[in-house]
Amino acid sequence: MQIFNHTITILLILLHLLPLLLYSLDTQEKNLVVQQENDVTKNSSTYATWMWRIKNPRHMGCWRRPWICRHDDSPRIRRRCCRNHCVDVNSDLNNCGLCGIRCPFTWQCCRGICMNTNVNPFHCGKCDRRCPRRSFCSYGMCGYAQPLHPFPFPFPPRLRPMPSPPKPYPSLVA
């Protein structure tokens, strides 16, 4: 019985150590492959720039080259290099008008200016949505919870006069 317990204990220990053994073999194999790749690329005379891009695919950004953000596609788009990214400063919430100007919560960047689109009648709900005349903007909706204007709606119909009550019968008693 004691031999059986020792065998089970040894098997359980081996089962716990098996993943660690497999992991160490896998990492040694990967290190060997990486070392062989490095040896090939360093000693090779045909090492090209496209291989360097594959090894380091990170984009350079616009920090040292801000002119790459200027597009002549459309006059409404004003792109600037903000924190190493090309950004449209006419509509970006974090860079409204200039780099680093952030619009408050629930506001939107309309043409480079932060606007409260919940109450602005010229930008109601979204940029450049105008409310009709005599209508207010509330909660981003034109004319929300406003009473209806009496004119040009038709007047309510006139009530007919009430009929007069019936006359009592003439009494037969004289």
- How confident is the model over 66-112, as pLDDT tens digits? 788 876 666 667 888 888 888 889 889 999 999 999 999 989 999 99
Assess if residue 125 is contained within a domain: yes
- Residue 30 covered by a domain: no
Residues 78 and 99 in one domain: yes
**Maximum mean pLDDT: which of 20-24, 25-29, 59-63, 119-123:** 119-123
112 and 78 assigned to the same domain:
yes
**pLDDT band per the 50, 70, 90 thresholds, residue 124:** very high
Q: Is residue 50 part of a domain?
A: no
| Residue 104 CB-density burial (10 A; 0-12 exposed, 13-18 middle, 19+ buried) | exposed
In a domain, 46, yes or no: no
Task: Specify whether 85 is located in the same domain as 131.
Answer: no
- In the chain, the number of structural domains is 2
Q: Which of these, 137, 103, 101, 134, lies nearest to 118 by C-alpha position?
A: 137
pLDDT for 48 equals 62
Highest mean pLDDT among 6-10, 59-63, 139-143: 139-143
**Host domain of residue 124:** 117-147
Q: Is the pTM of this model over 0.95?
A: no
**What single DSSP character describes residue 46?**
T
Same structural domain, 107 and 125: no
Interval 20-45 mean pLDDT: 55
66 plus 112 within the same structural domain: yes
* pLDDT level of residue 63 (50, 70, 90 thresholds): confident
Residue 132 within a domain:
yes
